[in-house]
Amino acid sequence: MNAQIPARKTNKFIIPPDYTFAFHRLRKILRDPSKQPIVLVACGSFSPVTYLHLRMFEMAKDYVRQNTNFEIVGGYLSPVSDQYNKPGLLSAHHRVNMCTLAAEETSSWLMIDPWEAFQNYQRTAVVLDHFDYEINTILGGVQTQDGEHRNVRVMLLAGSDLISTMSEPGVWAVEDLDHILGRYGTFIIERAGSSMDRATDSLARWRNNIHLIPQLIQNDVSSTKVRLFLRRGLSVRYLLPAAVVDYIEENNLYLDDGSVPEKDKGKDKDSGSGKWEGDVGFSTKTLLQV
């Protein structure tokens, strides 16, 4: 990133016990030195992770290759903390395990980062700062084939519900919007029934950092619907990766909607959050205020 990019909000991050940042699939050598290296980060419940969550990354990869001067060097799912008062939010332990199974068994380039999951609430802006710190400060970014160092740009990947909330006054702190959309940028996957163009009108100052990606084949799978199927004893095979279905069955998960233990439920939060969590914008909308 160039010198005009604003600084991170912080360079000090709480490290959960036994935490290790995954980088085994992070590509360290750029294929095309004329392109800007980027990493995609999707924050969400992933309760459970579905094929649509994974498909978002593939849609973004196609869009990046055909429409931008970026080169993707990695992709991460970042499950949210347990500190949310949201029905159906399974423990971080199970959600991280399911995401790991999904990524490792269905993808050659996606990874899971449990940093956000195993601690108290973290704003999306700080989560992106964490990725920037781990990839560019700790790991040293990437290199061209000639050995030239390049910093990696971290970019948020989300569904179109996210951009709709960003355009609503008072939902997100302006400072966080400027940090997320100004410093990092986002790829937004279209959802049927939502108007992305209208939502972006009020975000015009960051228009160049908001990339809208249409769904060429509509997919309406959501974690909310999957949980409903499971509670009714219906099959969810081929809606989720097979390894995730097996994990759910083996651990008797989602048999009811009381998945969040009382002791783990988040306390009431103040308004102006800078955090919208709705299964990456593809499920029932739930505003998380902090």
Q: What is the pLDDT of residue 87?
A: 76
Whole-structure pTM value: 0.86
Closest CA to 82 of 281, 277, 284, 282: 277
179-221 pLDDT, tens digit per residue, is: 999 999 999 998 766 667 776 777 889 999 999 999 888 888 9
Q: Which residues of the chain have pLDDT under 50?
A: 1-3, 259-273, 276-278, 281-290
Q: What are phi and psi of 59, to 5 degrees?
A: -65, -40
Q: Decide if 121 contacts 68 (C-beta within 8 A).
A: no
Q: What is the pLDDT of residue 263?
A: 40
Q: What is the pLDDT of residue 265?
A: 37
Transcribe the chain into DSSP letters: --TTSPPPS-S-----TT-----TT---B-S-TTSEEEEEEEEE--TT--HHHHHHHHHHHHHHHHH-SEEEEEEEEEEPPS----TT---HHHHHHHHHHHHHHH-SSEEE--TTTTSS---HHHHHHHHHIIIIIIS--EE-TT--EEPPEEEEEEEHHHHHHHTSTTTS-HHHHIIIIIII-EEEE--TT--HHHHHHTTGGGGGGEEEE--SS-----HHHHHHHHHTT---BTTB-HHHHHHHHHTT--SSS--S-GGGPPPP--S--S-B-STTTTSS--B---
Q: What is the pLDDT of residue 35?
A: 97
How distant is the alpha carbon of residue 31 from its chain centre? 25
Give the mean pLDDT of the chain. 86
